[in-house]
Amino acid sequence: MIIFLSGSINSGKTTIGKLLKTKFPNTAHIDDELHNMVDWLPLEEAIALHIKNTLSLTLNFLEKDFNVIISYPLSKVEYEYFNRNLPLDTERFFFTLNPRLDYALTNRGTRELTEWETERIKFHYQTGINNPGFGITLDNTMNTPAETVIEILYYIEQRDIRREMED
């Protein structure tokens, strides 16, 4: 099983991913920190590399029968790339965390947003990363991370129930 957590910077992807990881055995969590490996590369050049690396890691984990959680701000093109390149028999869920923009632009916890992050969040909202038109989009503005995890688990469970009814 693969769970994709998309959304803008500061939408809660990494926090939710870490919490979700505790709910499933044998689960790897890949987050959007892959850029740190090549932080000298301009972001626009690095994105395609990150997506390919994420796919490679995911395929390696699936080969070992791991579940995978991917926290990354996916565009429609990237969503389609994953769908084309993942094994057809792999169950996958796509969730986008979509807090209100004013909420995404605030410092939360110990995180202090940089000017670059603030501008990138605005860019993500302008380009639709926060509401991409695929998967399930969750407004997690007023939810705690634990409440958002419960909502995600509900959607996964509902899909499992529907599949059992079809069998």
Q: Is the pLDDT of residue 111 over 90?
A: no
- CATH of residue 159's domain is 3.40.50.300
**What percentage of the chain exceeds 70 in pLDDT?**
95
Render pLDDT for 135-162 as a digit per residue (tens, 0 to 9): 999 999 999 999 999 999 999 998 765 5
* CA angle 33–36–40, rounded 5-degree value: 140
pLDDT for the residue numbered 162: 58
Structurally, the chain folds into a number of domains equal to: 1
Tokens of 86: 């993942």
pLDDT for the residue numbered 112: 92
The model carries a pTM of 0.91
Render pLDDT for 16-47 as a digit per residue (tens, 0 to 9): 999 999 999 999 999 977 777 788 888 888 88
Name the average pLDDT for the chain: 92
| Cα–Cα distance, 112 to 40 (Å, whole number) | 22
Residue 111 domain boundaries: 2-166
pLDDT for the residue numbered 163: 57
User: Which single residue is written with the structure tokens 């995404």?
Assistant: 104
CA 151 to chain centre: 15
Q: Check residues 41 and 165 and name the one with the higher pLDDT.
A: 41
Half-sphere exposure at residue 94, Cβ-oriented, CA atoms within 13 angstroms: 18
